[in-house]
Copies of this chain bind each other. A is one copy, B any other.
Amino acid sequence: MAKLSPFACAFLEAEKAYAADEVPVGAVIVDSVTGEIIAATHNKMECRKDPTAHAELLAIQQACDKLQSIRLEKCDIYVTLEPCPLCAQAISFARLRRLYFGAYDPKGGGVDHGAKIFNASSCHWSPEIFGGVEEEKCAQLLKKFFINKREL
* Residues of chain A whose beta carbon lies under 8 Å from any beta carbon of chain B: 45-46, 49-52, 57, 60-61, 64-65, 68-71, 84-86, 88-90, 93-94, 106-110, 113-117, 120-123
CA distance A84 to B123 in the complex (A): 10
Question: Which one of B52, B68, B85 lies within 8 Å of A61 (CB-CB)?
Answer: B52
Task: Find the residue from A65, A89, A106 having the highest chain B CB count within 10 A.
Answer: A89
A86-B90, A115-B122, A122-B110 known; A70-B46 Cβ under 8 A: yes
Interface of A: prevailing SS: loop
A-B contact pairs, 20 of them (CB 8 A): A45-B70, A46-B70, A49-B64, A49-B69, A49-B70, A50-B60, A50-B70, A51-B60, A51-B70, A52-B61, A52-B93, A85-B89, A85-B120, A85-B122, A86-B90, A89-B115, A113-B121, A113-B122, A114-B120, A114-B122
Q: Are B113 and A115 touching (Cβ within 8 A)?
A: no
The smallest C-beta distance from A148 to any residue of chain B, in angstroms, reads: 19
What residues of B have a CB within 8 angstroms of the CB of A114 in the complex? 120-123
Are B89 and A93 neighbours in the complex by a CB distance under 8 Å? no
Q: Which of B49, B71, B90 contacts A68 (CB 8 A)?
A: B49
Shortest CB–CB separation between residue A9 and chain B, in angstroms?
22
